[in-house]
Amino acid sequence: MWQELLKQVQQGNIKALARSISLVENEYPGYEMLLQSLPATTARIIGITGPPGAGKSTLVDSLIGLLVNSGKKIAVLCVDPSSPFNHGALLGDRIRMNDWYVHPNVFIRSLATRGSMGGLHPKIIEITDLLKAFQFDHILIETVGVGQSEVEIAGLADVTAVVVVPEAGDEVQTMKAGLMEIADVFVVNKADRPDADLFVKNLRLMLAPSFSKHYNEVPIVKTVALQKEGINELLDIILNLLQKAHLNDKTFWLLAEKAFYLIEQKRMKDINKGQLKKEIEDCFKKGSFNLYKFISDK
């Protein structure tokens, strides 16, 4: 089954790609062999992240338009919050991207975080590698805005754009230690609002201590995604950064992080939260529950 799926994916069959993602996402038999047979590719990934309400989806919609108009094939992964009860995506219908769902050169998939604290889907690495096998020109990943822990995207994307809004002064200060350091480009969206210029100035001041950690000053772009303003400039910067991206020590550290994460997931495979809950309930009924002794017995 998986051999035929992989063959169809490499031939550009979009339905086969969707089925392959479901196969991996739900860990159906054969999914590991499918992943182990994926060819090496050089496809580049653009990460779009930032706090909730910054306009990430509208921005992605505008970027899709520019890329498609230039003849590119685009894949978009939208990682949404999930229900704590059934782990389904809460924002699965991407209303702002409805124009692209039936476009032949655009593939959009919404994924639930399924409890992942880093803002990404637990199978995001595997799904991204599947998209690379399809030979898309660009892969965009928009993450749920969960704050500082969302730096996980830096380990996956070749270029990371952090989207903020002029009113986010205190919020930016709070997330400085995380998102501020992983941004390859800052996008000040909704820049038609009052104090946008002052916010950009303050953002540059906040970035100043970290300039020494970057090869160049982190660019800041003002956009109004709803009006498609500043999007051309943003895309030019992203494409330029992608061209400069090259293999270095950081690349291999990020691959080591991915390997560590995947090994961790594999070793934790037999740990089931539902089963843990039942065992804890049984211990409580016996009046002998101690969390640390319970863990040590596992």
Convert the pLDDT of each residue in 192-233 to its tens digit: 998 899 888 888 887 776 555 544 578 999 999 999 999 999
Q: Which residues of the chain have pLDDT under 50?
A: 82-93, 115-119, 148-149, 214-215
Q: Which domains does the chain have, with CATH numbers?
A: 1-38 (no CATH), 39-251 (3.40.50.300)
Q: What is the pTM of this model?
A: 0.80
64-76 pLDDT, tens per residue? 999 999 999 999 9
Look at the block and give the residue holding tokens 């889907």.
121
